[in-house]
A and B are shown apart, each in its own frame.
Chain A
Amino acid sequence: MLLSLQGATVRFGGRAVLDAVDLGVAEHEIVCVLGPSGSGKSTLLRAVAGLQPLDSGRIRLDGHDQAGVPAHKRGVGLMFQDHQLFPQRDVGGNVAFGLRMHGASRTEQSERVRELLGLVGLPGAAGRAVAALSGGEQQRVALARALAPSPRLLMLDEPLGQLDRSLRERLVVELRELFGRLGTTVLAVTHDQGEAFALADRVVVMRDGRIAQSGTPLEVWQRPADAFVARFLGFENVVEATVVDGVAVTPWGKAPVPDGAPQGARTLLVRPAGVRLVPADEGLRCTVAARTFRGTHVAVRLQPEDAPRLEAACALRAAPEVGDEVGVEFDATEIAVLG
């Protein structure tokens, strides 16, 4: 493991912001920490960077304990949430900063600055003032600055947080491709699941300073560890249920579960695609409360008579109108029994 955290704990006035976190990042791996604001993800990065001392636990880089190693000697890079470009230096001066700190010669510096600005898609921008850059350009400069000293671990704090959607979607693909090409080891944090899933080899979901789940994007998406993770990923149909012999008893009635699902009192997740609409006199009887056009499908909110609301995904043409009465059946392949 290039980076390993053992029982890393940080307290702010008695409250544990990081609570006994164990985490490992292997070389060339891209790990994305996903969590709502206040879950401790930024503190995690600051602790690894050496900007925030641990109250207990251990951080190792390349097997070496980092306790007492100041930030500037850790050899890790950090791209700040709001970039923190040095306003008094131009683009080239910002990118060259880390190289200068490491005693690179002038020619090395300018060579590397040219190379990196080319890499992030801003060739020839070295002489520009940072104040004159757009948000996306600042982002790229911040990335080039963090990459310049070739850190063994690159950390990104909400790397695409302030950018508009289309730029974000384009940049996340570019980033993943770039990191893959350079073989960079990356630890990123974000609150945006789409960003995390698109960027990461492995996703770590955090809640209240603890790790709630860790796995590949597919694993996390398919089998969220618990109700919190499922809800955080945007799933609405999460209920308590009792599973007996391949059938779950839920507030919505009985629902089939996949083979081999654990038995007993469980949390059940029904993905919207697993909520099939049928004529009103079949299955669970619901009223359509709302419908939202989502581009590829229509999200339909259904209100059963005396059960929690359900979200269903419908094909564009088949979507019912608000106020319609429909019936609901469940599809076992889109149901997951959690934890």
Chain B
Amino acid sequence: MAVPVAFFAVFFAYPVTAIVARGLKTGGTWQPGRIGDVLAQSDVRQVLWFTTWQALVSTALTLLIALPGAYVFARFDFPGRQVLRAVVTVPFVLPTVVVGTAFMALVGRGGLLDELWGVRLDTTVWAILLAHVFFNYAVVVRTVGGLWSQLDPRQEEAARMLGASRFAAWRTVTLPALAPAVAAAALMVFLFTFTSFGVVQILGGPAFSTLEVEIYRQTSEIFDLSTAAVLTMIQFVAVGAILALHAWTVRRRETALRLVDASATARRPRGAGQWALLGSVVATVAVLILLPLAVLVQRSFGAAGLGYYRTLTEDDGGVFLAAPIEAVGNSLQYAVAATAIAVLIGSLAAVALTRRDAGRLVRGFDALLMLPLGVSAVTVGFGFLIALDEPPLDLRASWILVPLAQALVGVPFVVRTMLPVLRAVDVRLREAAAVLGASPWRAWREVDLPMVRRALLIAAGFAFAVSLGEFGATVFIARPENPTLPVAVARLLGRPGGLNYGQAMALSTILMIVCAVALLVLERLRTDRTGEF
């Protein structure tokens, strides 16, 4: 418990405090009245309103589209399932900037739809909503489907035998068991869309602006740090309230579930209805996820063939101090370190949270752990930059700074993935181990760990993917000579000209492939190990 608390105190609370102080304090005195001033501005209210409703609609839309997907991935066994599962996860790890650009290429001016039918969505909110669904499809499929695949189908069968229709059995048996996972997924999607930055920046134009975009604009364009600080605090409070509400609903529904081996629950679809469902899910994935990615890849070749890729290895001396391709190595190193930190801190926290004697204080920490997700990544990065560059803690020159920031964003994923599974482990198994002579720590290692190994791997995969794609915070602290992939892409996109645009597309494609490979390895690992569970 002490380790995660210390980690968050030093690398989260401290930087955030620093930036808030920087913003609210002028000439050594506090100016709390600034909050009221900022809130009174009508454009700020408009930003708040838009941020909220687009997040709500995005979440609803994502659930609507992704829940059938979660079912299909959890319960159906079909050729190419592993590949498809990895495919839906790829968007989640792509830098938001790239996704924004990919959708621009699809639905924007001169985009694919424009070329074909003259349809343009980039001036409407639909482009943003679609991109959000694109991003968060995997969140729902992974969080809900992961648990779904481990629910014992016989529970539903028991309900059927008691006279429940297929739907009634699902509604009364499976849905309540899934509810915490659905709530967790919905919460994540809401948070991501509430704090959406890159997508809105690209697709929103001047018409649509979220809090995050506004904070960035105030910080980097207008240099109005105090307004940015006030907006950060508003976001902080809103996110904190949502998280508290979520923690409350999840706790109320905590039940020990009978988890079974996931490999035994999936079977071939039967009947026209199930095949149609599978078909529609595959079609959704194809149109919603593969199409934008395909357009992205197509643009990376452009008219130049492999030309854009070839230039990546050349030291251009302009945008970068090194060849852009080196960003791949940097990204991988950072992501590995960040994953290790996130998994360590996250599992320690998750274990502390599941202890039966965990008090109110500890459980409050549950919500606190989620805060870095909700607080703008821009704030975290900027906070790191101004708080950790001077004594007592000077990490500015250290390479660990970037992994630390990325781990901060990854920890909530680890905790969220592990908590439901840890909570579902029967206490009496631990007691059985204790009576046989296992100390509490040993009992955890012998009983819980083998059961949560799958969750741990999924958590590590998520942390790794998030670290690879992290942009908002990294852009502030990555050293110019060691950019990560997303940072390199953003820099290229920020410069005019077809070559930079093509190079950005090429680098994005590489990032996409790296993520896909990493996830496929993880999927392999999962299936190879299933015999142990």
Binding site for B on A (CB under 8 A): 49-51, 70-78, 80, 82, 84, 86-89, 97-98, 101-102, 145-146, 148-149
Contacts and interface: CB of A to CB of B under 8 A. Distances in A.
Interface of B: 426, 428-429, 431-440, 442-443, 446-447, 450-451, 532-533
Given A86-B447, A88-B533, A101 B428 contact: no
A98 B436 contact: yes
Given A72-B435, A78-B435, A80-B432, A101 B426 contact: no
B447 A72 contact: no
A77 B437 CA distance: 9
Nearest to A45: B435
A84 B438 contact: no
B431 A86 contact: no
Q: Which 8 pairs across A and B sit closest by C-beta, in order of nearness? A: A98-B436, A101-B437, A71-B434, A84-B432, A78-B435, A88-B450, A72-B434, A101-B438
B429 A71 contact: no
A71 B532 CA distance: 28
Given A71-B431, A80-B428, A84-B428, A101 B533 contact: no
Given A76-B435, A82-B428, A149-B437, 7 more contacts: A70-B439, A73-B437, A78-B432, A84-B431, A86-B433, A88-B533, A101-B436
A77 B436 CA distance: 6
A159 to B, nearest CB: 14
Contact of A145 (B436, B439, B450): B436
Nearest to B436: A98
B208 to A, nearest CB: 50
B436 A149 contact: yes
A51 B434 contact: yes
Given A88-B450, A88-B451, A88-B533, A72 B439 contact: yes
A72 B428 contact: no
A43 to B, nearest CB: 13
Nearest to B429: A84
A286 B437 CA distance: 61
Contacts, number: 70
B447 A77 contact: no
Given A80-B428, A88-B451, A97 B435 contact: no
Contacts of B442: 72, 101
Contacts of B436: 72, 77, 97-98, 101, 145-146, 148-149
Contacts of B450: 88-89
A89 to B, nearest CB: 8
Contacts of A76: 435
A82 B428 CA distance: 10
A146 B437 CA distance: 11
A320 to B, nearest CB: 42
A191 B532 CA distance: 37
A238 B33 CA distance: 82
A145 B433 CA distance: 10
A148 B436 CA distance: 9
Contacts of A84: 426, 428-429, 431-432
13 contacts: A71-B431, A72-B440, A72-B442, A72-B443, A74-B435, A78-B432, A84-B432, A86-B447, A87-B451, A88-B451, A89-B450, A101-B436, A101-B437
Nearest to B437: A101
A334 B435 CA distance: 45
Contacts of A89: 450
A153 to B, nearest CB: 11
Contacts of B533: 88
A125 B435 CA distance: 23
Contacts of A148: 436
Nearest to A148: B436
A88 B435 contact: no
Contacts of A74: 435
A73 B438 CA distance: 8
A102 B447 CA distance: 16
A318 B433 CA distance: 57
Contact of B435 (A51, A86, A87, A102): A51
Contacts of B532: 88
Contacts of A50: 434-435
A71 B435 contact: yes
Contacts of B438: 72, 97, 101
Contact of A86 (B429, B434, B439, B440): B429
Nearest to A142: B432
Nearest to B432: A84
B507 to A, nearest CB: 43
A300 to B, nearest CB: 38
Contacts of A146: 435-436
B437 A102 contact: yes
Contacts of A149: 436-437
Contact of A97 (B428, B433, B439): B433
A98 B432 CA distance: 10
B14 to A, nearest CB: 38
B446 A97 contact: yes
A107 to B, nearest CB: 19
Contacts of B429: 84, 86
Contacts of A71: 431, 434-435
Contacts of A75: 437
Contacts of A80: 428, 431-432
A226 B533 CA distance: 51
Contacts of A77: 435-436
A113 to B, nearest CB: 13
A70 B437 contact: no
B440 to A, nearest CB: 8
Nearest to A71: B434
A80 B433 CA distance: 11
A229 B451 CA distance: 45
A200 to B, nearest CB: 21
Nearest to A51: B431
A155 to B, nearest CB: 8
B426 A72 contact: no
A16 B380 CA distance: 53
A92 to B, nearest CB: 14
A98 B431 CA distance: 12
A124 B429 CA distance: 25
A5 to B, nearest CB: 18
Contacts of B431: 49, 51, 71, 78, 80, 84
A101 B446 CA distance: 10
A73 B433 CA distance: 12
A98 B439 CA distance: 11
A74 B437 CA distance: 8
Nearest to A46: B431
B106 to A, nearest CB: 46
Contacts of B428: 80, 82, 84
A328 to B, nearest CB: 46
* Chain B CB within 10 A, most for which of A50, A74, A76, A97: A97
Nearest to A81: B428
Given A84-B429, A88-B450, A49 B437 contact: no
A273 to B, nearest CB: 43
Contacts of B435: 49-51, 71-72, 74, 76-78, 146
A80 B436 CA distance: 12
A87 B447 CA distance: 9
Contacts of B434: 50-51, 70-72
A98 to B, nearest CB: 4
A151 to B, nearest CB: 8
A77 B433 CA distance: 10
Contacts of A101: 433, 436-438, 442
A102 B437 CA distance: 7
Given A78-B432, A88-B533, A98 B451 contact: no
